[in-house]
Amino acid sequence: MSRISQLQLEQVKKCSATFVLAVNDTMNVINGKWKLPIVGSLLFGKKRFKELERDIPKITPRMLSKELKDLEMNGIVTRTVYDSIPVTVEYELTKSGESFKRVLDVMVEWGLQHRKSAMGNMK
């Protein structure tokens, strides 16, 4: 009936399950309206809360705070509190966070190509 054995099928299943997990992890960095702008801004260097707020138009402090917590939990961003007066807090990408640039790069690349070929199909 089938060309592949039961064992092979199990292996394929395990493999694709791992892939799904990996893709989901990636999605956690980019889902929602504000995560990509935040990561994008932090790719230019560490920033304070207010700096990010000014960098990202229309974001509310509630959303910024929420998404930063999320990114911190997912190991994308670190939060450092300095006991200066008043306190300053710095947000910085982790190594994983920085390496996300590679993903962004292919997203840009694909997006540009897709735009080009979509234009081609309209003519």
Partner DNA sequence: TATAGCACTATACTTTAGTATAGTAGTTAC
Partner DNA sequence: GTAACTACTATACTAAAGTATAGTGCTATA
Binding site for DNA (CB under 7 A): 31-34, 48-51, 58-63, 65, 79, 85-89
**Cβ at position 82, least distance to a copy of itself in Å:** 22
Report the partner that residue 65 touches, choosing among a copy of itself, DNA, none (CB closer than 5 to 8 A by kind).
DNA
Binding mask 14-53 for a copy of itself (x = CB under 8 A): ----xx-xxxxxxx--xx----x-----------------
Q: What is the DSSP letter of 31?
A: -
The C-alpha atoms of residue 42 and residue 93 are separated, in whole angstroms, by: 6
In this complex, which beta carbon is closest to DNA, that of residue 64 or of residue 100?
64
99 binds a copy of itself (CB under 8 A): yes
73 binds a copy of itself (CB under 8 A): no
Joined tokens for residue 93 = 């990408």
C-alpha neighbours within 13 Å on the C-beta side of residue 111: 6
**Cα–Cα nearest to 39, from 2, 15, 88, 74:** 74
The C-alpha atoms of residue 66 and residue 59 are separated, in whole angstroms, by: 11
**Cα–Cα nearest to 43, from 80, 111, 106, 91:** 91
Note the residues at the interface with a copy of itself (CB under 8 A). 18-19, 21-27, 30-31, 36, 75, 95-96, 99-100, 102-104, 106-115, 117-118, 121
